[in-house]
Structure 1
Amino acid sequence: MSKSTVQSPTAKRMWKPHRGPQTEAFRYFHVYEILYGGAKGGGKTDWLLFDFIEPELIEKPHYRGIIFRRTFPRLREIIDRSFVWFSSLASYNKQERCWVFSSGAKLFFAHCQYEESKYDYQGHEYHYQAFDQLEEFTESQYEFLKVQARSTDPKIKVRIRATANPGNVGHLWVKRRFIDNKEPIVVYKDTLGLTSMFIPARVYDNPSLMDNDPMYVKRLEALPEQDRKALLDGDWNIFAGQYFKDWRVYKHVVEPFYIPKIWKRFIGGDYGHHKPSSIGWYAVSPEGIVYRYREIYKEGLHYNTLGELLCEESRNEDIEYGVFDPAIFGDKQHHTKTKDSREGKSGAEIIQESINEWFKKENRQNDSFIIVRGDNRRIGGWGTVKQALKDETFKIFSNCTNFISTFPANVHDPHKPEDLNTNGEDHTADETRYALTSMPPETDLKSEKHLSHVSPLYKMNQIKKEREEYER
Structure 2
Amino acid sequence: MFGGAAGGGKSHGQLLDALRFACLYPGSRQLMLRRTMPELERSLIPAALRLYPQRIASYKVSEHRWDFINGSTLEFGYCDAESDVTRYQSAEYDVLRFDELTHFTESQFTYLISRVRGANGFPKQVKSTTNPGGVGHQWVKKRYIDPAPPDTLTEFAGGTRLFLPARLADNPYLCQADAGYEKRLQLLSVRDRKALLEGVWELNEGQYFSEFSEALHVVSPHPIPSGWKRYLTIDYGLDMLAALWIAQGPNGDSVVYRELYQPNLIISQAAAAILAQESGKEQIYCRLAPPDLWNRRQETGKSAVELFADCGLLFDRSSNERVAGWLALHELLAPRQDETGAVRPRLTIFHTCRNLIRTLPALQHDSRNPSDVAGTPHELTHAPDALRGYAATVYQAPPAPPPSAYDADIGAFLRY
TM-score (norm 2): 0.82
1:437 and 2:382 correspond: no
Cα displacement string for residues 13-41 of structure 1 (whole angstroms, at most 9, x for unaligned residues): xxxxxxxxxxxxxxxxxxxxxx0111211
Q: How far did 1:265 drift?
A: 1.7
The 1-side partners of 2:57 and 2:117 are apart by: 24
- Which amino acid is the alignment partner of residue 331 of structure 2? Q
- Name the stretch that deviates more: 298-307 or 278-287: 298-307
How many residues are aligned here?
383
- Which amino acid is the alignment partner of residue 241 of structure 1? G
- Structure 1 counterpart of 2:405: none
Cα displacement string for residues 37-84 of structure 1 (whole angstroms, at most 9, x for unaligned residues): 112111111111121112664673x43211111223323222233233
The 2-side partners of 1:72 and 1:434 are apart by: 36
Cα displacement string for residues 158-194 of structure 1 (whole angstroms, at most 9, x for unaligned residues): 22110122222222221221121313223222234x1
**Contact map agreement 1:284 1:440 (CA 8 A) in 2:** no
The 1-side partners of 2:249 and 2:161 are apart by: 44
1:370 and 2:337 correspond: no
- Structure 1 counterpart of 2:128: 162
What does residue range 292-311 of structure 1 map to in structure 2 within 5 Å?
292-311=256-275
- Name the stretch that deviates more: 209-218 or 222-231: 222-231
**Contact map agreement 1:264 1:283 (CA 8 A) in 2:** yes
- Which amino acid is the alignment partner of residue 227 of structure 1? D
Distance 1:416 1:210, change over 3 A: farther
The 2-side partners of 1:110 and 1:350 are apart by: 40
1:312 and 2:276 correspond: yes
Q: How far did 1:130 drift?
A: 0.5
- Which amino acid is the alignment partner of residue 226 of structure 1? R
Q: How far did 1:135 drift?
A: 1.1
**Contact map agreement 1:167 1:240 (CA 8 A) in 2:** no
- Which amino acid is the alignment partner of residue 63 of structure 2? E
Q: Secondary structure at the match of 1:41?
A: coil
1:399 and 2:352 correspond: yes
**Contact map agreement 1:243 1:410 (CA 8 A) in 2:** yes
Distance 1:189 1:258, change over 3 A: closer
Distance 1:267 1:65, change over 3 A: same
The 1-side partners of 2:318 and 2:37 are apart by: 33
What does residue range 178-257 of structure 1 map to in structure 2 within 5 Å?
178-192=144-158, 194-257=159-222
Q: Secondary structure at the match of 1:429?
A: helix
**Contact map agreement 1:268 1:322 (CA 8 A) in 2:** yes
Percent of aligned pairs sharing the same letter: 35
Which of 366, 383, 407 in structure 1 is aligned with 2:327? 383
Q: Please tell me whether Structure 1 or Structure 2 has the larger radius of gyration of its CA atoms.
A: 1
Distance 1:67 1:346, change over 3 A: farther
1:137 and 2:76 correspond: no
The 2-side partners of 1:309 and 1:414 are apart by: 36
Distance 1:237 1:343, change over 3 A: same
Distance 1:144 1:416, change over 3 A: same
1:120 and 2:87 correspond: yes
**Contact map agreement 1:304 1:350 (CA 8 A) in 2:** yes
Which of 299, 310, 314 in structure 2 is aligned with 1:353? 310
1:419 and 2:356 correspond: no
Pairwise CA RMSD = 2.9
Q: Secondary structure at the match of 2:62?
A: coil
Q: Secondary structure at the match of 1:271?
A: strand
The 1-side partners of 2:296 and 2:37 are apart by: 28
The 1-side partners of 2:128 and 2:71 are apart by: 24
- Which 5+ residue runs of structure 1 have no aligned equivalent? 1-34, 334-341, 357-368, 443-472
Q: Secondary structure at the match of 2:256?
A: strand
Distance 1:290 1:55, change over 3 A: closer
The 1-side partners of 2:32 and 2:288 are apart by: 40
1:49 and 2:15 correspond: yes
- Which amino acid is the alignment partner of residue 177 of structure 1? R
The 2-side partners of 1:49 and 1:434 are apart by: 46
The 2-side partners of 1:285 and 1:94 are apart by: 62
**Contact map agreement 2:234 2:242 (CA 8 A) in 1:** yes
Q: How far did 1:87 drift?
A: 6.8
**Contact map agreement 1:58 1:103 (CA 8 A) in 2:** no
- Which amino acid is the alignment partner of residue 216 of structure 1? Y
1:285 and 2:285 correspond: no
The 2-side partners of 1:375 and 1:270 are apart by: 12
Q: Secondary structure at the match of 1:269?
A: strand
- Which amino acid is the alignment partner of residue 352 of structure 1? A
**Contact map agreement 1:226 1:240 (CA 8 A) in 2:** yes
The 1-side partners of 2:50 and 2:22 are apart by: 23
- Structure 1 counterpart of 2:402: none
- Which amino acid is the alignment partner of residue 305 of structure 1? Q
The 2-side partners of 1:70 and 1:376 are apart by: 31
- Which 5+ residue runs of structure 2 have no aligned equivalent? 337-344, 398-416
Q: How far did 1:144 drift?
A: 0.8
- Which amino acid is the alignment partner of residue 323 of structure 1? L
Q: Secondary structure at the match of 2:224?
A: coil
Q: How far did 1:327 drift?
A: 5.5
Which of 165, 170, 173 in structure 1 is aligned with 2:139? 173
Q: Secondary structure at the match of 1:420?
A: coil
Distance 1:47 1:277, change over 3 A: farther
The 1-side partners of 2:21 and 2:217 are apart by: 52
Distance 1:200 1:93, change over 3 A: same
Q: How far did 1:250 drift?
A: 4.1
- Which amino acid is the alignment partner of residue 193 of structure 2? R
- Structure 2 counterpart of 1:4: none
The 2-side partners of 1:55 and 1:370 are apart by: 57
**Contact map agreement 1:169 1:425 (CA 8 A) in 2:** no
Q: How far did 1:237 drift?
A: 2.2
Q: How far did 1:128 drift?
A: 1.9
- Which amino acid is the alignment partner of residue 160 of structure 1? V
Q: How far did 1:280 drift?
A: 0.8
